[in-house]
């Protein structure tokens, strides 16, 4: 009878210690509004310990970026922490540079840790941002660069058309501002066409 009680107590204790230990949740996210070829791509990994004891020998390793498609600007893709305290989190950032445009599937990184001292190694995965498009440099520039040269050259052309010189008044009124190419209708039309060209080329695939 007493053996039964002892056995039951041990079983309960075993159940209790089974739930203790560290538990890590990891997320991987892109801190970019746009992913552009040749510009920085920022990745952030957050690891939260929601368990009751510290996680030991935590290793984060991300092999999902082939070196020929992504260059590393700053940060390391394989890192480790000695311990992550319970109810705390750590964050890790890496900056990459995409070398090719197109679609890319951002998959999970893997996290391995010891839930308890002398315990087994637990392997988990971070969340995955999913499929994203990496814009080509030209497309991004068409939409977002200031187009200084375009605007400057257009304004120069307009200035050339408009004639500011004050000619002496003769019997014949000066016609330079009334010919078809110098009327305000033409100027409006010209500006409208120019803007249309910029918009059309920026939405072209």
Partner 1 sequence: MMIRIAAFLALVCLCTGESCSDPVITPSAYTTSDAVISSESVFIVELSLACANGAQSVALYADVNGRQFPVTRGQDVGKYQVSWSMPHKQASSGTYQVKFFDEESYSSLRKAQRNNEDVESIQPLFSVNVDHRGAWNGPWVPTEVMAALIGILVYYLAFSAKSTIQA
The distance of closest approach from Cβ of residue 125 to partner 1 in the complex, given in angstroms and rounded to an integer, is 19
Q: Which string of DSSP letters, residue by residue, matches 57-82?
A: EEEEE---S-TTTEEEEES-SEEEEE
Binding to partner 1 (CB under 8 A) within 87-146 occurs at 90-95, 144, 146
Which 38-57 residues touch partner 1, going by CB under 8 A? 39-40, 42, 44
Beta bridge partners of residue 60, listed in sequence order = 79, 111
Euclidean distance between CA atoms 47 and 58, whole angstroms: 10
Report the alpha-carbon distance of residue 79 to residue 87 in Å, rounded: 21
74 forms part of the interface with partner 1 (CB under 8 A) = yes
Q: How many CA within 13 A on the CB side of residue 43?
A: 27
* Maximum Cα interatomic distance, the chain, rounded to a whole number of Å: 131
Give dist(CA 166, CA 43) in Å, integer.
Answer: 62
Q: Does 173 help bind partner 1 (rule: CB under 8 A)?
A: yes
Cβ-based nearer residue to partner 1, 17 or 88: 88
Q: Which is nearer to partner 1, 11 or 61 (CB)?
A: 61
- Site for partner 1 (CB under 8 A): which residue of 87, 177, 189, 197? 177
Chain residues that interact with partner 1, rule: CB under 8 A:
31-34, 36, 39-40, 42, 44, 73-76, 78-84, 90-95, 144, 146-148, 151, 154-155, 158-159, 162, 164, 166-167, 169, 173-174, 177, 184, 187, 191
């Amino acid at each position: 009878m007493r053996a039964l009680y002892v056995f039951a107590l041990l079983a309960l204790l075993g159940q209790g210690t089974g739930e203790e230990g560290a538990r890590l949740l990891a997320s991987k996210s892109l801190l970019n509004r746009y992913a552009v070829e040749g510009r920085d791509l920022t990745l952030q990994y957050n690891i939260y310990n929601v368990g009751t004891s510290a996680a030991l020998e935590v290793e984060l390793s991300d092999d999902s970026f082939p070196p020929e498609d992504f260059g590393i600007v700053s940060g390391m893709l394989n890192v480790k922490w000695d311990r992550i305290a319970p109810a705390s989190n750590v964050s890790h950032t890496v900056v990459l540079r995409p070398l090719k445009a197109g679609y890319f599937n951002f998959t999970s990184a893997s996290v391995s840790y010891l839930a308890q001292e002398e315990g087994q190694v637990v392997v988990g995965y971070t969340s995955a941002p999913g499929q994203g498009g990496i814009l080509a440099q030209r497309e991004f520039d068409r939409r977002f660069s200031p187009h200084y040269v375009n605007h400057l050259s257009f304004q120069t052309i307009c200035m050339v058309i408009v004639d500011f010189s004050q000619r002496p008044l003769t019997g014949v009124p000066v016609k330079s501002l009334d010919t078809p190419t110098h009327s305000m209708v033409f100027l409006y039309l010209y500006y409208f066409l120019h803007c249309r060209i910029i918009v059309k080329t920026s939405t072209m695939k």
